[in-house]
Structure 1
């Protein structure tokens, strides 16, 4: 069942800035209603006033599971239902893996993975009961592969995508759709207020310098409104994909990485196949 534009209820985390704000604006412009969630909802005050009755702004730290369930309950109570859930809240912690403290590593996973897991768990009973709904998991180019200084961020997005693939199969039986959205570069506050870094080790200075050179020469960042336009096309589809790439750079990179992986698997096919030969279970009588 597809809910027409102008009559949908969105639940968007990380909605006060960046991609989340762009998604919120696009949904409101389509005439939909939005539950916008953020740690700090003050940047949403103007939108709440401009869209009276159609925008509910709620403070939420997605790492707090109890608070997530309470926010979902409040959203359903307020608007009566949920149609589109966007797990967008995220942070970026840059650093070489050797440099990460335990607290920094756990913080990266708590927001990007566990936050999305808690929201997914909290909304599923409501979507199941209605027999419809669409969960959008905002992943990243960082989930296509691991990259130097982005290792923990990529790990959090790899975990998100593995969970989401399973969720998609579990939710399908109830008419609930799941799409993993993989954006490339967009000009968002992720690079400023959402960015932290490790204490650098001198040994990695040459690699850091090389990475900074590559980023300066090859950075491609776009207006978040373009991502929002793509998402509006996505949620209007009766048959949305499990995965959607956003941007030419991430599209080309996805195919390049996939081809290189396939080439490596093919080169090692003999070793791979030789590692499997069925035998009786240990202890079974001959």
Structure 2
């Protein structure tokens, strides 16, 4: 029986995952902003659920929640960072408060929980950390720059972490959901739109339509999550949903083409070797 620590456990994909984890007989520390939203899980699964009222941006509260979980269940085998929100808006439209809040939840919240579970995982020389990123952690679209910046930060931190902790048999996986109707947009703070960026909002709609993104089944992601948990050698990155590979091929081909086109500037910046 494994023990999971799951943030964002009361809504969105996290709610589906919490139920699937418990249905298969594992223990779950379910973290949410309000514990009353976790009552149905606690009523149904009893002592196998530890309901935690947690603001992931509060470092001290995160440390205390992880410590309570370790005391209750004897350790944490799998961490899933699912808590987050999505600010939609052009870069100029975001207020300082909105931009900081986006980073605090999506990046620093995941960093704090990751740091909190690592000592126990290192000591046991075993563990899995699953970070919920996004296709937007790999590609940046107009009017999503602040949200996607938080995911790009999560991507870099997690890739470095994976190399750092592999020696302790700790696996890190970035989950990249593409399009799922979870209510994330409706539950997230939004900017005050500026008419100067109407064209950018239209570009986002055009990009989504041309990519052929179709909503996936949120419930199906639970089966995928459990498959990752059971995989002997899980990947660093995995897309949840379809059409993402096609987008990535276009994105990276364009990046390489641009770098090659401007390689003469790269060489100009290099200068001449010393003494020549």
Instruction: Name the TM tier (shorter chain).
Output: over 0.9
Match 1:197 to one of 187, 190, 193? 190
Distance 1:158 1:225 in 2: 26
Distance 2:6 2:101 in 1: 21
- Cα shift at 1:251: 2.5
Alignment: residue pair count: 275
- In the alignment, structure 1 residue 208 sits paired with structure 2 residue 218: no
Structure 2 counterpart of 1:146: 140
Q: SS where residue 173 of structure 1 aligns? A: helix
Structure 2 counterpart of 1:16: 10
- Cα shift at 1:278: 6.9
- Runs of 4+ aligned residues of structure 1 deviating over 3 Å after TM superposition are 209-219, 277-280
Question: Structure 1 83/68 Cα, relative in aligned 2: closer, same or farther at 3 Å?
Answer: same
Q: SS where residue 47 of structure 2 aligns? A: coil
Structure 1 residues 170-193: Cα deviation after superposition (integer angstroms, max 9, x where no partner): 111211111111110111121222
Q: SS where residue 28 of structure 2 aligns? A: strand
- In the alignment, structure 1 residue 258 sits paired with structure 2 residue 252: yes
- Cα shift at 1:208: 2.5
Distance 2:35 2:217 in 1: 22
Structure 1 counterpart of 2:26: 32
Q: TM-score, normalised by structure 2?
A: 0.93
- In the alignment, structure 1 residue 267 sits paired with structure 2 residue 261: yes
Structure 1 residues 91-127: Cα deviation after superposition (integer angstroms, max 9, x where no partner): 1111111111111110000000000000011000010
Structure 1 counterpart of 2:149: 155
- Cα shift at 1:277: 5.1
- Cα shift at 1:236: 0.6
Match 1:183 to one of 157, 177, 183? 177
Q: SS where residue 181 of structure 1 aligns? A: strand
Structure 1 residues 230-260: Cα deviation after superposition (integer angstroms, max 9, x where no partner): 1111111111111111111222212221122
Structure 2 counterpart of 1:89: 83
Q: TM-score, normalised by structure 1?
A: 0.90
Distance 2:70 2:194 in 1: 48
Structure 1 residues 127-167: Cα deviation after superposition (integer angstroms, max 9, x where no partner): 00110000001000111221111000000000001111111
Q: SS where residue 224 of structure 1 aligns? A: coil
Distance 2:142 2:125 in 1: 42
Match 2:130 to one of 115, 133, 136? 136
- Does the 8 Å contact 2:9/2:15 carry over to 1? yes
Distance 1:124 1:96 in 2: 36
- Does the 8 Å contact 2:126/2:168 carry over to 1? yes
Aligned 1:98-177 pairs, distance under 5 A: 98-177=92-171
Distance 1:273 1:226 in 2: 49
Question: Structure 1 148/210 Cα, relative in aligned 2: closer, same or farther at 3 Å?
Answer: closer
Unaligned runs of 5+ in 2: none
